[in-house]
A and B are shown apart, each in its own frame.
Chain A
Amino acid sequence: MRRVLWLSISATLLGCAGNGEGLDANGRPIMSGGPIPLAPTFESIQQNVFTPICTACHAGAAAPVGLRLDEASSYAMLVGTASVEVPAVHRVEPGNPDASYLIQKLEGTAPVGGRMPLGSPPLPQATIDVIRQWITAGAQRAAAATSAAAPATIIGVEPQRDQILDRPPREILLSSDAALDTSALQAGAVTLMRSGGDGSFAEGNEVTIAPLRIDVRSLEPTVIAIEIAPQDWTPDSYRLSVAGAGSIAMSDRSGAAIDGDNDGRAGGDFRMDFEIGRPL
């Protein structure tokens, strides 16, 4: 602690900003590729706006209104997702920037709260216009380049794997790194069950929760939101499964099954456990 104190005091007095050698515009070591100029694509907006500006606050456990805008979370938490402050308005409404809460917050016209970024200069209108263009064009995200050796995978954005919640989630958000064939969703590829109170999924007393309301928020890459009737949630352990094998396996557009179990090979079910505890 003493070292940190003296380092901070010395650095504050001497005011030594870094020279940025070997770093990208976000101050991170350059790994591959170069900077992406600002353009109406999600990747560009992420790198030029969300990561360097918004994640100063909207990251981690204490992200305001639960909105995380880091690279792994932002797309799924923005596109087609209801805002917390005005639930009737989606954060990003593909094709309609004026009806997107993100734009309203950036332009200072939102009915609740202050203009973003809060406490910092507003984004130049030219930057907001680029975000508007991206939304007008459908708020797409380029699917990650995948090779034959890298089948599509799924991650749980909200809740996260093994997360313990004090209250039911608004919805379950899953995101893929590729464009999936979503026709299998209607055939029962996604199932949600609870343990029956013993925390185990091998006792035979599990309860399958149905119906599930499944909403495809984005096709490329695929983002899926799963909603459950509020009365169906009860304190228990839950397991969400997405079929990666069998006749109803989820697959990408080429027909290759997802790598649900994340072993690097196509096939295998995606499973994500989480728990809703009793309110403290």
Chain B
Amino acid sequence: MFARVVILIVGLAAAQAAFAEPYFAVQTGLKCMNCHSNPTGGGIRNAFGRTWSQTVLPSHPIDLDQQSLSGEISRYLSIGTNLRVDGTYLDVPHQPTQNNFDIEEARLYLELTAIPDRLSIYFDQRIAPGGSNNLEAYVRYWSANHLWYVKAGQMYLPYGWRLEDDTAFVREVPGINMFTPDRGVEVGLELGPWDAQFAVSNGTAGAPENDRGKQYSALAQFVQPIWRVGVSANFNDADAGTRRLGGIFAGVRTGPIAWLGEADYVADKSFPDGERKQQVGLLEANWLMRKGHNLKLTAEYFDPDDSVDEDERARYSIVYEHTPIQFVQLRLGARVYDGIPQNDLDNRRFAFLQVNGYF
């Protein structure tokens, strides 16, 4: 326990997190939509986001005299991509260690703009590893004054921090992440420092509707240059059992460190043995050591059933991220899982070296 606290304190005094990109927003004091076409963040970047990622993010950006691929093919067509290639080391107790090179993920983004700044159609396609499958496909309409928008199609739902790491407890346990888009409609408001989204969807994680109940997701946040705080809620009314989520998330910047925190509560009646009430938490510190160098420490907590004692799980991550030039990021990280001793997988150790190519 002492060691964990020491690691956490060191991390809090020094750190930055792994795979989570919302810390960029906290570091810069901007909203997700300032860099991404999608108002709720993630996916293809807009003109500002492309410029920022090519000039501000890397430590030694190469001056290409505007000869590099910008992603904006024309005023009406933009493309983007992410490719993450990993070398991993996995140590599960009582099992042989595994060392692998693997493609973690390759995605293609495509945005067709029918009316500039107003009407567009967007696709997010996962193309590797394995076969291709669609994650997002929606049409989005912005009001003339950009105070509200509406999206319809398949999309990621608004809830909590949109972390890049979908295996984080705060994304995996609520089940709202970038593996589980859903089909429906989302309405968003942008009112100065406030923004809010509300979505109605099938509640089937992208599968065809199988009952009459719907899933309702809502998020509201207040953004200031130094700090921000938000609340999110979700209700999935399903025949297989209703599910209620509620959470609060916040971010603050203290000098070179951007902090992210989230706590969520899950009440899930879809388990065969009845309702379970679960709690998850995340605390993440991102230390911008110098331009292009980021160190991230993350501590996470998961209580799978608050009526059962001694079943809690924790996870700790340390990740060093280096962006030497535009379009390339290197990540070196380790994760330690801490769970009940009788479950080997919940006590695994994982290390990785990742190359992330993007534009």
CB pair A163 B211 closer than 8 Å? yes
* A165 CA to B240 CA, complexed, in Å: 12
CB pair B211 A52 closer than 8 Å? no
In the complex, which residues of chain B have a beta carbon less than 8 angstroms from the beta carbon of A29? Answer: 308
* Interface stretch of the complex, out of B46-54, B186-194, B310-318: B310-318
In the complex, which residues of chain A have a beta carbon less than 8 angstroms from the beta carbon of B314? Answer: 11-12, 15-17
* A63 CA to B133 CA, complexed, in Å: 17
CB pair B271 A70 closer than 8 Å? yes
In the complex, which residues of chain B have a beta carbon less than 8 angstroms from the beta carbon of A24? Answer: 342
* A92 CA to B325 CA, complexed, in Å: 47
* A62 CA to B238 CA, complexed, in Å: 8
CB pair A20 B340 closer than 8 Å? yes
* Interface stretch of the complex, out of B30-38, B108-116, B147-155, B278-286: B278-286
* Top 4 A-B pairs, shortest CB-CB distance: A61-B238, A60-B270, A20-B340, A8-B281
- The interface centre, meaning the residue of A19, A121, A160, A166 with most chain B CB atoms within 10 A of its CB, is A121
A1 contacts which of B207, B265, B345 (Cβ < 8 Å)? B265
In the complex, which residues of chain A have a beta carbon less than 8 angstroms from the beta carbon of B180? Answer: 57, 62, 64
Chain A residue nearest to B166 in the complex (CB): A119
For residue B42, give the distance in angstroms from its CB to the closest CB of chain A. 15
Chain A residue nearest to B304 in the complex (CB): A27
* A167 CA to B183 CA, complexed, in Å: 15
* A22 CA to B213 CA, complexed, in Å: 37
CB pair A165 B343 closer than 8 Å? no
B124 close to A (CB within 8 Å): no
B323 close to A (CB within 8 Å): no
B21 close to A (CB within 8 Å): no
Chain B residue nearest to A72 in the complex (CB): B272
A137 close to B (CB within 8 Å): no
Per-residue contact bits, chain A 1-38, to B (CB 8 Å; 1 contact, 0 not): 10011011101111111111111111111000001000
In the complex, which residues of chain B have a beta carbon less than 8 angstroms from the beta carbon of A72? Answer: 272
CB pair A61 B167 closer than 8 Å? no
Chain B residue nearest to A84 in the complex (CB): B207
B80 close to A (CB within 8 Å): no
A204 close to B (CB within 8 Å): no
Per-residue contact bits, chain A 163-191, to B (CB 8 Å; 1 contact, 0 not): 11111010000000000000000000000
CB pair A166 B211 closer than 8 Å? yes
CB pair B338 A15 closer than 8 Å? yes
A277 close to B (CB within 8 Å): yes
Q: List 7 A-B contacts (CB under 8 A).
A: A15-B8, A17-B313, A52-B345, A61-B241, A64-B206, A71-B272, A277-B212
B117 close to A (CB within 8 Å): no
In the complex, which residues of chain B have a beta carbon less than 8 angstroms from the beta carbon of A159? Answer: 210, 239
Given contacts A16-B301, A18-B340, A20-B340, 16 further A-B contacts (CB under 8 A): A1-B246, A5-B248, A9-B281, A11-B314, A12-B300, A13-B5, A23-B342, A25-B340, A57-B179, A59-B271, A62-B182, A85-B133, A113-B130, A113-B131, A121-B88, A160-B240
CB pair B129 A57 closer than 8 Å? no
B81 close to A (CB within 8 Å): no
Number of B interface residues in the complex (CB < 8 A): 82
For residue B211, give the distance in angstroms from its CB to the closest CB of chain A. 6
In the complex, which residues of chain A have a beta carbon less than 8 angstroms from the beta carbon of B279? Answer: 4, 7-8, 11
CB pair B263 A5 closer than 8 Å? yes
- Which B residues from 192 to 239 make CB contacts under 8 A with A? 203-213, 215, 236, 238-239
A280 close to B (CB within 8 Å): yes
B132 close to A (CB within 8 Å): yes
B73 close to A (CB within 8 Å): no
A146 close to B (CB within 8 Å): no
B338 contacts which of A17, A110, A124 (Cβ < 8 Å)? A17
- Which B residues from 92 to 132 make CB contacts under 8 A with A? 92, 95-96, 98, 100, 105, 126, 129-132
A108 contacts which of B1, B130, B206, B208 (Cβ < 8 Å)? B130
* A72 CA to B274 CA, complexed, in Å: 13
In the complex, which residues of chain A have a beta carbon less than 8 angstroms from the beta carbon of B299? Answer: 12-13, 15
How many A-B residue pairs have C-beta atoms within 8 angstroms? Tell me.
228
- Which B residues from 48 to 97 make CB contacts under 8 A with A? 88, 90, 92, 95-96
A246 close to B (CB within 8 Å): no
- The interface centre, meaning the residue of B212, B313, B348 with most chain A CB atoms within 10 A of its CB, is B212
In the complex, which residues of chain A have a beta carbon less than 8 angstroms from the beta carbon of B1? Answer: 14-16
CB pair A20 B311 closer than 8 Å? yes
CB pair A27 B340 closer than 8 Å? yes
A120 close to B (CB within 8 Å): yes
* A241 CA to B8 CA, complexed, in Å: 60
In the complex, which residues of chain A have a beta carbon less than 8 angstroms from the beta carbon of B88? Answer: 121
* A119 CA to B129 CA, complexed, in Å: 11
B175 close to A (CB within 8 Å): yes
B321 close to A (CB within 8 Å): no
CB pair B95 A63 closer than 8 Å? no
* A200 CA to B132 CA, complexed, in Å: 46
B290 close to A (CB within 8 Å): no
In the complex, which residues of chain A have a beta carbon less than 8 angstroms from the beta carbon of B280? Answer: 8
Per-residue contact bits, chain B 330-356, to A (CB 8 Å; 1 contact, 0 not): 000000001111110100101000000
* A26 CA to B304 CA, complexed, in Å: 10
A148 close to B (CB within 8 Å): no
Given contacts A59-B271, A108-B129, contact A9 B204 (CB under 8 A): no
CB pair A14 B207 closer than 8 Å? no
* A21 CA to B279 CA, complexed, in Å: 20
CB pair A61 B207 closer than 8 Å? no
For residue A18, give the distance in angstroms from its CB to the closest CB of chain B. 4
CB pair A23 B308 closer than 8 Å? yes
Chain B residue nearest to A110 in the complex (CB): B130
CB pair B175 A57 closer than 8 Å? yes
Given contacts A60-B241, A160-B240, A280-B212, contact A18 B265 (CB under 8 A): no
